Structures are given as structure tokens and as C-alpha cells.
């Protein structure tokens, strides 16, 4: 039997979503993704004098994909059928391929988010899911300050 999950319902502009916490493995992967994107941004800033262009389109896409990863995990981890399949996979009662087939029809995907979610809703969902995991998304002001800070400079937080 699968372990219970922390699940809560959030309402954003009248739309109701069930979200769940990310697993340790998912949090580690998310952290690695964010670290990689941060390193790419810093490298880009080292090579370019224009701090206003600190997020080229390919980096913006990577950052969006990182948010989509967190959103998909947070939404999918709240779906009982997926939780049951994750448990079977963990117990090696099904293969990764069988798991993928079993959840294909019900899992939320990045492709679905691109087609059905606007930027504001995506940002709010990512924020809710990360907050539910004890993490915080930086505010727009913090992101802007980071993009304008010189490489190696540290921003003071209040």
C-alpha cells in the first residue's frame, strides 16, 4: 500500500486544484534543474555586458520547463491512480514502461500546461506547490534585482 501523501486543495481565481508535496527524488531533481539554469544564467552574464538581456529565450524556456516540472509533479502526486502506480513501480511490480503506459491518459504534462494554462496561473500554481514543500519562489522584484546584479555580487535580502 502506498504511503499517504500530503494533499491540499488550492483555489486560484475560482479554479480548484488538488496539489501534493513533491517526493525527495523530485525535489532533488528540481534543485538540480534550478542550479543548472542559475549556472547558465551566470555564465551568460559573464559573457555579455547587457544585464537587461540576462535571460535569453533558451534560458527563459528552461526556467519555464523547471516550473512545469514542479507543477506536473505537484498535480500528479495528488491523483490517486498515479499514487497507486508509483507504489507498484517502487515495489518493482511493474516496469518503468508499464508505469508510463498506465499513467499516460491521466497525468498532467508540460504539453498540456502549455496549451491550457496562462502565465499568471502557471506562476501561481508553481508558487503554491513550492510553498507547500517549504520552498519559496523569488518575487518578480527579487528576480529583477538578481538579473541586474553583477556577477559575483550578492543581493541583500530584507
pLDDT (tens digit, 9 = 90+) per residue, 20-47? 999 999 999 999 999 999 898 888 888 8
Handedness of CA 110, 115, 121, 123 (dihedral sign): positive
Stated pTM of the model: 0.83
pLDDT digits (tens, 9 = 90+) for 117-136: 999 999 999 999 999 999 98
Q: Distance (Å, rounded) from C-alpha 141 to C-alpha 139?
A: 5
Give 45: exposed, middle or buried? Use CB within 10 Å, 0-12, 13-18, 19+. Answer: buried
Amino acid at each position: 500500500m502506498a504511503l499517504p501523501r500530503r494533499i491540499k486543495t488550492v483555489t486560484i481565481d475560482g479554479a480548484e486544484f488538488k496539489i501534493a508535496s513533491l517526493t525527495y527524488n523530485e525535489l532533488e531533481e528540481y534543485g538540480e534543474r534550478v542550479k543548472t539554469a542559475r549556472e547558465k544564467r551566470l555564465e551568460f552574464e559573464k559573457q555579455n555586458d547587457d544585464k537587461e538581456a540576462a535571460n535569453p529565450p533558451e534560458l527563459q524556456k528552461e526556467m519555464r520547463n523547471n516550473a512545469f516540472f514542479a507543477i506536473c509533479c505537484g498535480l500528479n502526486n495528488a491523483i490517486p491512480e498515479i499514487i497507486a502506480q508509483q507504489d507498484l513501480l517502487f515495489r518493482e511490480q511493474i516496469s518503468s514502461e508499464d508505469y508510463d503506459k498506465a499513467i499516460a491518459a491521466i497525468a498532467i504534462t508540460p504539453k498540456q500546461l502549455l496549451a491550457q494554462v496562462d502565465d499568471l496561473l502557471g506562476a501561481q500554481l508553481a508558487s503554491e506547490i513550492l510553498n507547500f514543500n517549504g520552498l519559496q519562489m523569488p518575487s518578480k522584484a527579487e528576480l529583477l534585482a538578481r538579473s541586474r546584479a553583477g556577477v559575483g555580487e550578492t543581493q541583500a535580502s530584507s
